[in-house]
Structures are given as structure tokens and as C-alpha cells.
Amino acid sequence: MKVWFRQLFLFGIVGMVQVVIDSGVLIGLTHAGAGVAMANVCGRIAGALVGFLLNGKATFSSVSNRRLHDGPLLRFILIWLTLTTVSTLLLVLLRQRVPLESVWMVKPVVEACLAAVSFLVSKFWIYT
């Protein structure tokens, strides 16, 4: 159980870094005139680059010492594509109904909700 708490804590720290990067890219690009969908995908790519490495090397490092570019990377990409699709659809639908600034405020909430799914999938499938 102690390992679970350690992993959950580290996953949360890494996740906060990812959300700051991800949201910053989304805000910057949409402020410059980009569409929400494209900006969200770019933001999630930026966050994912940091998150995959940090979670693989720190959060779930005790699970395995194998290289991350084998199976874990392919599983990560599959889950990332799925969660990015969900995130993008939610933000695009929201943008159709509210001002852009509201999308900026909701973005971290959407990502926090998806983080719960991401933690479980990471623990039991991606980094196993």
C-alpha cells in the first residue's frame, strides 16, 4: 500500500507540471488565434513529452527497470490518443457555448478528471 501512495503522490506532482505546460500552450495558442482543438492537441503533446519520461523514470520506476521505448511507449501513445480525443471534444463543445476565457479555466479541471483514469491505466498497463 505504501508503494501506491508514493506512486499516486509522484503521479500528482508530475501531473501538475503537465497541466501547467499543457494549459499554458493551449492559452498561448488560442490567444494568438489558433482553434481550441489544435491548441489542445499541441498542449497535450507538450505535457505528454514531459509526463511520459518523468512517470516512467520516477513514478513507476520501481515496477520495472526496462527501457521505456518498447511496449510502454506504444501503450502510452494509445491511451494518450484516447484521452486527448476526449479532452479535445469536451473543450471544443464547451467553446461553442462559452467564451474562450471560460475554456481556459475549465481546461485544468478536464485534465484533472482524466488524470484519475490515466493513473490507473499507467499503473496497471502502461508501465507494467
Q: What is the pLDDT of residues 100-114, one digit of tens each?
A: 999 999 999 999 899
Residue 114 to residue 31: CA distance in whole angstroms: 24
Residues 6+ apart with CB under 8 A from 24: 43
pTM given for the model:
0.85
Residue 51 to residue 57: CA distance in whole angstroms: 10
Please report the pLDDT score of residue 113 as a whole number.
Answer: 92
Please report the pLDDT score of residue 79 as a whole number.
Answer: 93
Q: How many CB atoms lie within 10 A of CB 69?
A: 9
Please report the pLDDT score of residue 62 as a whole number.
Answer: 60
Task: Output the nine-digit C-alpha cell for 102.
Answer: 471560460
Q: What is the pLDDT of residues 18-64, one digit of tens each?
A: 999 999 999 999 999 999 999 999 999 999 999 888 887 888 776 55
